[in-house]
Structure 1
Amino acid sequence: MIVAKFGGTSLADAKQFKKVYDIVISNDERKFVVVSAPGKRFKEDNKITDLLYLTHAHTKYSVPYDPVFKIIEDRFLTIKYELNLSVDLKQEFDIIRENLDNKCDEDYIVSRGEYLSALLLADYLGCKFIDAKDIIFFNYDGSVNSEKTNLKIKEFTEDCDKIIIPGFYGSYPDGSIKTFSRGGSDITGAIVAGAVNAKMYENWTDVSGFLMADPRIVKNPKQIKRITYQELRELSYMGASVLHDEAIFPVREAGIPINIKNTNEPENPGTIIIGNDQIEESCENDYIITGIAGKKNFTIFYVHKEHMANEVGIIKRALEVFEDRGISIDHIPSGIDSFSIVLPTECVDKFSHEIVEELKLKCKADFVNVNNNLSLITTVGINMASRPGISAKVFSALGNNNINIRMIDQGSSEINIIVGVENKDFEIAIKAIYGAFVNC
């Protein structure tokens, strides 16, 4: 049994709907289909969800919403007529308009993109439509009521051939609509996959899985065939993600693989995401490393104090400076008489001078230096720990390109090596590391 989730670009217009139709009917094991709202058809186009957010903003500030809502209506009506479907969209639009006029909640209106998309696809495929509000349940604190959700999904999906479910939302105990964060259809699909104990969770998008590096930096990077959840978390944190982070956990706990696939190239095997315990059962990637990712614009606070190693609680006191401001720390590399605190520049840019003074005071530091132009690059691979010389290869690649390393951090799991370089060296550093492992 397979759960297939299709993203916004996969359902952007009637042409894309036809591709989804062909994919779903090509495999009888695809019993559950979760859909997003229609996305962009071209670069300058609008996502339906963005237009729905704008529509709600118009009603909130008593601005006429008709011009925006007309665009939404036309998108769905065009899909209906081009596919010759029978869904009564006029009735659906009338209900939505009535709710808009009655100042409905934002969560309700922005969920209508997935709702209407699922109605159309269910009609097109001749499948049963199940509203997500009837099977995905939230507690009032915003968390998912997993027990109730799993029981209801199993109840609703018994003895059904194929089922279409809108993603992105569910309901509170009082029946009102509650949405996930943006991209939350990934989470809906994962929850359904876990509840029905699927053998595979397919996530269909507009890319053929994960690449070993950012194609905007490295020309034609290799595709990642297999990646573990742990590796994915490391790369995703640095921005290399085509999957909502929270979508990992429901299927990871159930031991269900995720297959990232391309709706526009369904024959491409994509990338399989598996658990660490499943790595022996699958083919290894062709390279020692799995991938490289990075982000610009980090700040380092370098704190130095003689004989720091003999002092208890100094790092704790330093971290309190950031904790008091609600700021999360990314890395804390340390030495005998110094340590550094690394975090995104945007979190501290407005009051970095205040932080410096507080660090000096709380830590009784000899001096505190600040550098705002740091990029972090992570090289990830679950096989790296068993291969000698990986770190040397990374450092040599950077040294051969005259790139100065400002920070080094390697976790105890040895699944990744993080280096800090100047922002100006970011792109060339990624190219250098990629070339050292892939083009050797």
Structure 2
Amino acid sequence: MFDKILIANRGEIALRVIRAAREMGVRTVAVHSTADADAMHVRMADESVCIGPPSSTDSYLSVPAIIAACEITGAQAIHPGYGFLSENAAFVQILEDHGITFIGPTAEHIRIMGDKITAKETMRNLGVPCVPGSDGGVPDAATARRVAGEIGYPVIVKATAGGGGRGMKLAKSEAEIERAFQTARTEAKAAFGNDEVYIEKYLGAPRHIEIQVFGDGKGGAVHLGERDCSLQRRHQKVFEEAPGPTIDAETRARIGKVCADAVASINYAGAGTIEFLYENGEFYFIEMNTRLQVEHPVTEAIFGVDLVREQIRVAEGLPMSFTQDDLVVNGHAIEIRINAEKLPNFSPCPGKITQYHVPGGLGVRMDSALYDGYSIPPYYDSLIGKLIVHGRDRAEALSRLQRALGELIVDGVDTTVPLFHALLQEPDIIAGNYNIHWLERWLEENLG
């Protein structure tokens, strides 16, 4: 059993890990920038270490500073949360070299899944269905034109090292492919330092379905059903639910087994999410995230498990505390991501919280690091909280979400709360009738 772990993150996810560790009797170390000296994760941890100035490059992304914090405090393991260094294979290798346990998968698995082309080839070889596309990176515009013609338009050009919608360009016809190729390469180089791109068939109206998997690192793995994350803005998820409104039990078991078998065969350790586009009853692999997802609470709600606790157990070499037969879907859960942003342009809105009230009641959970008087710094992601509800079915979960949202008070800054009040009145949302393009169209029609 670990005596002490360090959380290499901030905000609500750092609090999430602290809470799980405390229930396990494990002491925690918070790291923070100078801008986060008064942050809630610093207050709640057993110890804290300042690792640098406000810039994340000089603090939360500073590997030497984080290693030093471990050595100073005697932390035996690091939980990375999500974002920052959570999918940095080089960081994981450095930890291994220093005798510090990484609470997550191996550097090799992170490296494989971090490259979109290698990940796709690996998953295809493991029997996971993939989107038709180029066999590897596309070196020039002429090759892009040939590959796109073979696949059939429309196609999408994607950065191999991409994420968050950057380095992605749509080409609806041959006349658009060269521009899409060059633009995607330029964006990829600027965002990731790597201009390699590949091409995939563009699906017209898919849903975004992701399968939560968990491996013990010794050839054992389970799946914990799916999440529907189709409501997105600029490829960023804003509303997630489990189970998916369009996925039946037979389909869930089928694709879940494919995913669990795939990660078991490579001895994957810890939490992972295999993401698909889903259209006309078919799944098409797009990527695997080798970390805990922002939206993991909806899975926890419907299965009654603690995924962070399980991550720590597996990192300690202990077996998983549940089997596939133990995992039975119970009800429906929805999560909305609340950002400190000003509508209609979604511009970041840092500032001081003058009043904060958390909704309560049966089936309501609020994951946030806010408190009265807290000043949201301007240096980091604008996510300030996740409101999660659980009900006996989807209708009850929606009703509970509407009620809880009405109780939530976040004064002092602009937030995206009004967006969700509006969305919960939409017939398509109530009916679960949406795809990955729905929200963008709605925003254009309603917010301009």
Same fold (TM over 0.5): no
TM-score normalised by structure 1 residue count: 0.29
Which of the pair is proportionally richer in strand?
Answer: 2
Larger radius of gyration: 1
